[in-house]
């Protein structure tokens, strides 16, 4: 009997240490790998070994107890140390819960970045460490789930059954995934991976089968929650993938654009039209949808794509990428704006000024190539030019907004101005202050002139609002997933970040049905 108890605790030690180490490594956003390794080797592992050895020693002598309720960890602790140990256990539970919460935030963020989870608000609490994040929605969901499970069970045995099944399932899945790491990442033999699964998987399968016995006594809770989140992630990923495929397959070809001519076959009204799109190459289908139903567009069009990159800050001189779409006389531009996760988005006026100045600077420097002459997206990306904001170019082009002709700009004795023609009661006078060197050709000057006139007329933001529906004739399952599941998640999740920053007074939203 004593040997059996010792054997059980021999296998119990690694199975309990591994989940603890997983919870610790979930705190990588708060601590370095070296600090976790030192703490685990010098404090955590010896403490666990001593604790389980003490329990095993106590049970080996006091295993013949009439009441099963007496057998437990706190019974083996001396009575004088019982309350201090209880306080330490409570503090350890707080640390463990924090690790689980942090790990949940990290997993949700990665799933959201891969398009496998609905968009949520992610708050980065540190400007130096990428892993320190906070997600309010997930925090509230965890709180509600904890309250629901606690109030629903009202029994520590059921909570233990649910926790045990969840832990051993995580360990079993981790072992299976570790075998893939051995083969694909470490490039070891397949037989070595099979041996790894056979050795550790056999032990974990025994514990898993023992946990399944308690499935109806609380073990069903983690399985049910996992199934619900699996459905949510699958529905969102499937709908997002179909929507992106529709965007890619229905992009406007450059040949169709060239066939329209410089006027694009529509009326070009004064002003700048900024069309938000998620595509970094090609012309989105929302453009043709707008032109087909309302054949009028602004004299200057900018396809704007805002991207968040996994770095704290993006240098201002590397924030904008600008390129032409089609010939220069079409006045079509593509601009990709990159923000780090700690960058503060400027207000509307400052952003508009930086955007227009970046396009003007690229025109003046002659670095803007003809982007989009073919359907090869790789070539398109090569012709994008990095242009910083106006504040990063002390000798570059400047823009001055005033309401009178007598406004002076300090330090412009060596600069010459490009002014717009005099109009009756202009809403806003715009001046581009261009350095004398290098000289700009006539075509670039005319392009700057037209850009300045368009800026005086104002800027309009055009946002696409997509309604994703299943094609007629689709299966019933697909209709349920797309028409109800994905539509419900899309309406109740956060919208794109750029939609929160545009001025509502000059925003035009264009609806379009996506039949996927």
Domain locations in the chain as residue ranges: 253-457
**Residue 116: what pLDDT?**
87
Give 10-residue mean pLDDT values along the chain (516 residues): 40 43 51 75 83 81 61 74 86 79 84 85 75 86 91 84 88 90 90 92 90 88 92 93 84 73 75 84 78 78 83 80 82 85 68 82 66 44 63 58 45 42 52 60 79 83 83 90 90 69 71 81
Q: Using CA atoms, how far apart are residues 78 and 53, in angstroms rounded to an integer?
A: 15
Nearest to 375 by CA among 278, 282, 304, 245: 282
**Residue 43: what pLDDT?**
82
Cβ atoms of 327 and 367 closer than 8 Å: no
Q: Do the strands 459-469 and 267-276 form a parallel or antiparallel pair, or are they unpaired?
A: parallel
Q: Is the dihedral of CA 341, 342, 346, 347 positive or negative?
A: positive
* CB neighbours of residue 177 within 10 Å: 10
Tell me the CA end-to-end span of the chain in Å, nearest whole number. Answer: 65
Q: Using CA atoms, how far apart are residues 84 and 91, in angstroms rounded to an integer?
A: 11
Block residue for tokens 């398009």: 115
Q: Using CA atoms, how far apart are residues 84 and 61, in angstroms rounded to an integer?
A: 24
* pTM of the model as a whole: 0.71
Q: Using CA atoms, how far apart are residues 18 and 6, in angstroms rounded to an integer?
A: 19
**Residue 427: what pLDDT?**
53
The single-letter DSSP state of residue 471 is: P
Q: What is the CA radius of gyration of the chain?
A: 31
**Residue 303: what pLDDT?**
87
């Amino acid at each position: 009997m004593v040997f059996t108890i010792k054997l059980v605790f021999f296998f119990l030690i690694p199975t309990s240490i591994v989940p603890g180490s997983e919870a610790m490594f979930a705190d990588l956003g708060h601590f370095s790998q070296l600090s976790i390794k030192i703490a685990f080797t010098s404090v955590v592992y010896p403490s666990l070994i001593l604790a389980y050895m003490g329990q095993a020693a106590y049970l080996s002598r006091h295993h013949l107890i009439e009441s099963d309720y007496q057998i437990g960890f706190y019974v083996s602790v001396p009575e004088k140390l019982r309350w201090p140990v209880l306080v330490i256990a409570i503090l350890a539970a707080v640390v463990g819960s924090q690790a689980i919460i942090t790990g949940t935030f990290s997993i949700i963020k990665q799933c959201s970045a891969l398009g496998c989870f609905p968009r949520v608000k992610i708050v980065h609490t540190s400007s130096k460490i990428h892993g320190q994040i906070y997600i309010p929605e997930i925090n509230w969901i965890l709180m509600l789930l904890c309250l629901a499970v606690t109030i629903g069970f009202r029994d520590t045995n059921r909570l233990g059954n649910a926790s045990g099944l969840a832990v051993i399932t995580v360990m079993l899945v981790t072992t299976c995934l570790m075998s893939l790491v051995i083969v694909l990442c470490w490039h070891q033999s397949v037989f070595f991976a099979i041996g790894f699964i056979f050795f550790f998987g056999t032990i974990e399968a025994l514990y898993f089968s023992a946990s399944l016995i308690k499935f109806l006594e609380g073990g069903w809770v983690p399985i049910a929650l996992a199934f619900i989140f699996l459905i949510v992630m699958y529905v969102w990923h499937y709908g997002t993938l179909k929507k992106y495929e529709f965007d890619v397959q229905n992009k406007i070809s450059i040949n169709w654009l060239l066939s329209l001519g410089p006027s694009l076959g529509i009326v070009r009204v004064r002003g700048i039209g900024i069309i938000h799109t998620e595509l970094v190459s090609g012309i989105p289908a929302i453009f043709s949808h707008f032109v087909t139903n309302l054949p009028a567009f602004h004299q200057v069009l900018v396809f704007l794509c805002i991207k968040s990159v996994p770095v704290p800050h993006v240098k201002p001189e590397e924030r904008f990428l600008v390129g032409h779409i089609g010939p220069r006389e079409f006045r079509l531009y593509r601009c990709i704006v990159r923000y780090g996760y700690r960058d503060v988005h400027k207000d509307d006026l400052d952003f508009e000024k930086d955007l227009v100045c970046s396009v003007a600077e690229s025109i003046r420097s002659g670095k803007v190539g003809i982007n989009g002459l073919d359907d090869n997206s790789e070539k398109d990306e090569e012709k994008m030019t990095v242009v910083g904001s106006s504040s990063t170019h002390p000798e570059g082009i400047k823009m001055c907004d005033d309401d009178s002709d007598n406004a002076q700009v300090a330090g412009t004795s060596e600069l010459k101005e490009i002014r717009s023609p005099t109009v009756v009661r202009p809403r806003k006078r715009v001046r581009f202050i261009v350095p004398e060197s290098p000289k700009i050709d006539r075509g670039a000057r005319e392009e700057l002139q037209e850009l300045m006139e368009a800026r005086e007329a104002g800027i309009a933001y055009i946002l696409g609002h997509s309604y994703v529906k299943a094609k007629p004739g689709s299966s019933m399952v697909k209709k349920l997933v797309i028409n109800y599941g994905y539509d419900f998640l899309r309406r109740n999740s956060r919208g794109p970040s750029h939609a929160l920053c545009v001025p509502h007074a000059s925003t035009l939203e264009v609806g379009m049905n996506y039949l996927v």
